[in-house]
Amino acid sequence: MSNIDDAASVLAHFNRLIAQGVVFYLDNQRQILHEDKGLNFEFRITAALTNKPSGTSLPPTTLPSAGAGDVYQPGSDISINNFAIGPVGDSHVLAFNKFCVVRPHMLLVTADGFRRQYEALDLHDLAAARHVMGSSFQGGGGGREYMMLYNCGVDAGCSRLHKHMQILPKPGNSISGYRLWLDDTEDAVEAMMPFKHFVARFEDLPDANSLLRVYLSLLGNAQAALRDEGGNKPGHAVAHNVVLTRRWMVVIPRRRAGVDGADANAAGMLGMVWLSDEDRLKKWLEVGPADVLAQCGVPNTR
């Protein structure tokens, strides 16, 4: 394991796992910048995602059989054997993602393997995410800012049953040419987003209790937006995505995981689309990226 507060140690660990073939990450990605209906999209195509489970092809309803090298804790369908970085308090474990588009791409997994991806976030989840985002790892990561993603439910793009968040470098501090839409505080940019979304902005990352209050308020708005979609199953939160940065949180209500083979998770709903091959890109372009997102979410009628 690595020290989760030591950026150099974490990145060196990540690089070792790539070299060993444990983590799948390739530098030779194809990046396509595409504008649709006033919004800039970044598509990344990489063979590292070829064998990644899909929420639409593999709904997270059953637990897997252990394969070579896989070790599952009770109730879990995510093996962090060989991937673990270290514990985050008593409630979570930080581990590397197996199929990566960015360096490093991490999972923040609940220590309890029976927690589920269709549950809403709670205080422990947000405290753990805040710890990682606000730790010295944050400041020591080459000046990079990190963000948290959460895909709640199959219709929000999740592919695993065990509750987990994703932690990864936030775009916008590089020469990629793409930045998150909500980093732009102009109302005109938000108005162009083709789906309903609920945002709270901060001066800096709030404490965990404040984050929970903000999240529950935004989630209430998402529930109201989905009221005509049949509601949620007992014990399940409504399908939604969460993206948290140091300056804002957004909750996005979801109606479906994808449209005609063009699937979107939390990153995809903000224009960061990660694909395994050119055929999947064609599906996005045939439907139209903005139309894909409108149909995956609740269309914005403002």
CB atoms within 10 A of CB 278: 10
Per-residue pLDDT, 247: 95
Highest mean pLDDT among 68-72, 81-85, 88-92: 88-92
Give dist(CA 220, CA 25) in Å, integer. Answer: 37
Q: Which pLDDT value is given to residue 139? A: 47
218-269 residue pLDDT tens:
999 999 999 877 666 777 999 999 999 999 999 999 999 999 999 999 999 9
Helix segments in 141-207, DSSP class H: 187-192
Q: What is the pLDDT of residue 108?
A: 98
By three-state DSSP, how is residue 144 classified? coil
Q: Which is more confident, 9 or 181?
A: 181
Q: Above 80 in pLDDT, residue 127?
A: yes
β-strands 272-275, 39-45: how paired? Answer: parallel
Identify the pLDDT of residue 51: 86
What pLDDT score does 173 carry? 52
The per-residue pLDDT for range 109-126, each reduced to its tens digit, is: 999 999 999 999 999 999
Which phi and psi angles does 206 have, rounded to 5°?
-70, 170
Give the pLDDT confidence of 38-75 residue by residue, as tens digits: 999 999 999 999 988 765 444 445 555 545 456 778 99
Q: What predicted TM-score, i.e. pTM, was given to this entire model?
A: 0.92
CA pair distance 41, 271, nearest whole angstrom: 5
- Whether cis (ω within 30° of 0) applies to the bond prior to 289 is no
Phi, psi dihedrals of residue 93, rounded to the nearest 5°: -130, 135
Alpha helices (runs of H) in 4-122, residue ranges in sequence order: 7-19
pLDDT tens digits, residue range 162-206? Answer: 999 999 999 975 556 788 999 988 888 899 999 999 999 999 999
pLDDT of 277: 94
Sole residue written with tokens 């994703």 = 166
For strands 198-201 and 248-253, give the pairing: antiparallel
What is each CA distance from 295 to 18, 36, 126, 134, 258, in whole angstroms?
36, 15, 29, 34, 8
Q: For the chain, which domains are there?
A: 7-296 (3.30.428.70)
Q: Does the pLDDT at position 137 exceed 60?
A: no
List, for residues 260-300, the tens digit of each pLDDT value.
999 999 999 999 999 999 999 999 999 999 999 999 999 99
CA atoms within 13 A on the CB side of 245: 21
Structure confidence at residue 234 (pLDDT) = 76
